[in-house]
């Protein structure tokens, strides 16, 4: 299979697309911009979702579900929100079809026009805060710590599987608090949850920071983010957590009475990650032979492939041993498959599971059994070793953890090698063009300079890192005074 893959050097974008399609993760649908997430891709998303969901619940959140549709006027209630989200969206204008009197199938019934158009949610702050108005009267009703797993739609003209699609799956947390401090603490807590998830489960190091005003969520006072680095030197925003101040409470008139019966607007946060994370996972870890899945969230962690010869008795012995191994591994909570499909050869299977990024492959032949060993191959390093069948289960469990750590460390080294301190404009442009990665430079703090740099280089400020070192310097473009470096990069 690997022969048909484009290599990263040849064409990084095409390599990515090949992996998504040939790795069986997703494909384009007949509906412009909407993807089909195939079973293998969805199993990956389920694993990610389950881990995150557990982390949300452990931090006191509950799930709920809000309407898919948002009345058009709601988007306008928060001034900057409408600027950000009311542009490219799916608009429902009618609620009925009828048979075409000319016999050409069905047509929209012009008499079934909605009084007010409905927008398919691009994000749910407005519909949720209009709901919270009914839930909140007093401080006893706070905090509200709610999350929703949902599909959202943002009409996009140029789409890429997982990275930018018109419809995507995500979770959106929406919390309501009595005080500003509590809301900010929640915003920061959820950023930490995201960082922990992406680092410990996706094996992908991230930089925690805050966005500049230009890159802030439409309606937020502050947008916190985690930024990851892809193998082509471009950054990818892996999650955001927004401190929304009282903006949505004011837009939807949500107030509460505190213990002293003073009436105040409620404080809000929202935070989300999406199926875009799958794009990050692929671009950070995979290689020219295919996907490389971090064991902790891999849909399949171990595959066992029999190496049959023509001796029926030997085949039976291999099957017996493999089935026993499957049982043992499953008892350890390891996701394993025994692929004894007779219609494909071992070599084909090896390539197929390499393409799909299964972390560990065990090959088992008659001679191996005689020697009481199996051949164990790891996907990340593409090395293999002969391992005793005694204690193989323990070996595999340890190996999975080792692969997880190795993938993280490899990504961490790469990321750290690709943060470059730059102090002149020429070096700034040269670094972006020749090396890529994060460029750590001084910036004069104005949106105008940020815009100008974006216009000249396509690089944006990915974030101002949390706990950023303060140092005097001169803006890399304007030379004006600056108090700290920020991280620039070209980004997905």
Q: Does 89 bind a copy of itself (CB under 8 A)?
A: yes
Residue 475's region, left for phi above 0, alpha for psi from -120 to 50, else beta, is beta
- Residue number, 116 or 455, with CB nearest to a copy of itself: 116
Reference 150, options 276, 66, 37, 90; nearest CA is 66
Quick count: other Cβ atoms within 10 Å of Cβ 103? 6
Q: Does 256 bind a copy of itself (CB under 8 A)?
A: no
Pair 69, 54: CB distance under 8 Å: no
Instruction: Give the largest CA-CA distance in the chain.
Output: 85
Q: Does 297 bind a copy of itself (CB under 8 A)?
A: no
Q: Does 98 bind a copy of itself (CB under 8 A)?
A: yes
Reference 288, options 354, 213, 387; nearest CA is 354
The SS3 assignment for 377 reads strand
- Say how far apart CA 163 and CA 276 lie, in whole Å: 5
- Say how far apart CA 219 and CA 236 lie, in whole Å: 22
Q: Does 31 bind a copy of itself (CB under 8 A)?
A: yes
- Structure tokens, 234: 């471009």
Which residue of 169, 176, 355, 489 would you call a contact of a copy of itself, by CB under 8 A? 169
Q: Does 130 bind a copy of itself (CB under 8 A)?
A: yes
* Per-residue binder mask for a copy of itself (CB under 8 A), 105-124, x = binder: xx-x--------xxxx----
- Residue number, 36 or 263, with CB nearest to a copy of itself: 36
**Helices 39-58 and 180-200: angle between axes, nearest 10 degrees:** 140
- Residue number, 171 or 449, with CB nearest to a copy of itself: 171
Q: Provide the CB-side half-sphere exposure for 416 (13 A, CA).
A: 7
Number of residues that bind a copy of itself (CB under 8 A): 64
Quick count: other Cβ atoms within 10 Å of Cβ 309? 11
- Residue number, 260 or 470, with CB nearest to a copy of itself: 260
Residues whose CB is less than 8 angstroms from the CB of residue 251 and which lie 6 or more positions away in sequence, other chains included:
77, 78, 81, 126, 129
Residues whose CB is less than 8 angstroms from the CB of residue 446 and which lie 6 or more positions away in sequence, other chains included:
none
- Say how far apart CA 223 and CA 8 lie, in whole Å: 33
Q: Does 170 bind a copy of itself (CB under 8 A)?
A: no
- Say how far apart CA 209 and CA 213 lie, in whole Å: 13
Q: Does 97 bind a copy of itself (CB under 8 A)?
A: yes
Which residue of 146, 210, 374, 422 would you call a contact of a copy of itself, by CB under 8 A? 146
* Per-residue binder mask for a copy of itself (CB under 8 A), 313-352, x = binder: ------------------------------x---------
Q: Does 127 bind a copy of itself (CB under 8 A)?
A: yes
Candidate ranges 62-70, 280-288, 386-394, 448-456; the one touching a copy of itself (CB under 8 A): 62-70
- Residue number, 116 or 469, with CB nearest to a copy of itself: 116
- Structure tokens, 183: 């809301």
Instruction: Give the nearest distance from C-beta 143 to a copy of itself in angstroms.
Output: 13
- Residue number, 56 or 488, with CB nearest to a copy of itself: 56
- Residue number, 85 or 488, with CB nearest to a copy of itself: 85
Residue ranges in contact with a copy of itself by CB under 8 A: 27, 29-31, 34-39, 41-43, 45-46, 62-76, 82, 86-98, 105-106, 108, 117-120, 127, 130-131, 134, 140, 146, 150-151, 153, 155, 167, 169, 343
């Amino acid at each position: 299979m690997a022969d048909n893959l484009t290599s990263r050097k040849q064409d990084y974008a095409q390599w990515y697309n090949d992996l998504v399609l040939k790795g069986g993760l997703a494909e384009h649908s007949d509906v412009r911009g909407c993807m089909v997430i195939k079973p293998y891709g969805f199993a990956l998303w389920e694993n990610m979702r389950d881990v995150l969901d557990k982390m949300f619940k452990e931090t006191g959140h509950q799930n709920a579900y809000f309407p898919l549709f948002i009345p058009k006027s709601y988007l306008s209630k928060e001034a900057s929100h409408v600027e950000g989200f009311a542009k490219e969206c799916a608009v429902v204008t009618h609620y009925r079809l009828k048979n075409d009197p000319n016999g050409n199938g069905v047509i929209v019934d012009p008499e079934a026009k909605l009084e007010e158009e409905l927008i398919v949610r691009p994000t749910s702050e407005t519909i949720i805060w209009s709901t919270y108005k009914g839930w909140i009267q007093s401080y006893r009703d706070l905090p509200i710590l709610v999350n929703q797993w949902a599909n959202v739609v943002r009409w996009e003209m140029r789409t890429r599987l997982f990275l930018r699609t018109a419809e995507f799956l995500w979770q959106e947390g929406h919390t309501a608090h009595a005080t500003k401090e509590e809301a900010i603490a929640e915003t920061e807590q959820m950023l930490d949850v995201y960082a922990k998830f992406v680092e410990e489960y996706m094996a992908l190091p991230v930089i925690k920071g805050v966005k500049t005003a230009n890159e802030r969520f439409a309606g937020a006072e502050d947008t916190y983010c985690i930024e990851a680095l892809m193998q082509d030197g471009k950054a990818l925003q892996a999650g955001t957590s927004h401190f929304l101040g009282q903006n949505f409470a004011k837009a939807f008139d949500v107030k509460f009475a505190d213990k002293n019966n003073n009436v105040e607007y409620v404080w809000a946060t929202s935070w989300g990650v999406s199926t875009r994370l799958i794009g990050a996972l692929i671009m950070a870890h995979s290689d020219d032979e295919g996907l490389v899945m971090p064991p902790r969230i891999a849909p399949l962690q171990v595959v066992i492939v029999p190496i049959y010869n023509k001796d029926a008795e030997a085949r039976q012995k291999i099957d017996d041993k493999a089935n026993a191994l499957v049982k043992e591994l499953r008892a350890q909570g390891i996701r394993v498959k025994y692929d004894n499909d007779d219609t494909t050869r071992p070599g084909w299977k090896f390539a197929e599971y390499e393409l799909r990024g299964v972390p560990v492959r065990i090959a088992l032949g008659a001679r191996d059994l005689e020697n009481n060993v199996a051949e164990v191959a790891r996907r990340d390093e593409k090395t293999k070793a002969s391992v005793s069948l005694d204690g193989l289960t323990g070996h595999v469990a340890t190996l999975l953890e080792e692969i997880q750590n190795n993938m993280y460390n490899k990504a961490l080294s790469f990321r750290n090698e690709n943060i470059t301190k730059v102090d002149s404009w020429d070096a700034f442009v040269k670094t972006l063009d020749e090396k890529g990665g994060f460029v750590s430079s001084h910036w004069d703090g104005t949106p105008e300079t940020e815009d100008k740099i974006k216009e000249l280089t396509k690089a944006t400020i990915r974030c101002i890192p949390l706990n950023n070192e303060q140092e005097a310097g001169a803006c890399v473009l304007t030379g004006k005074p600056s108090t700290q470096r920020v991280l620039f990069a070209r980004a997905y």
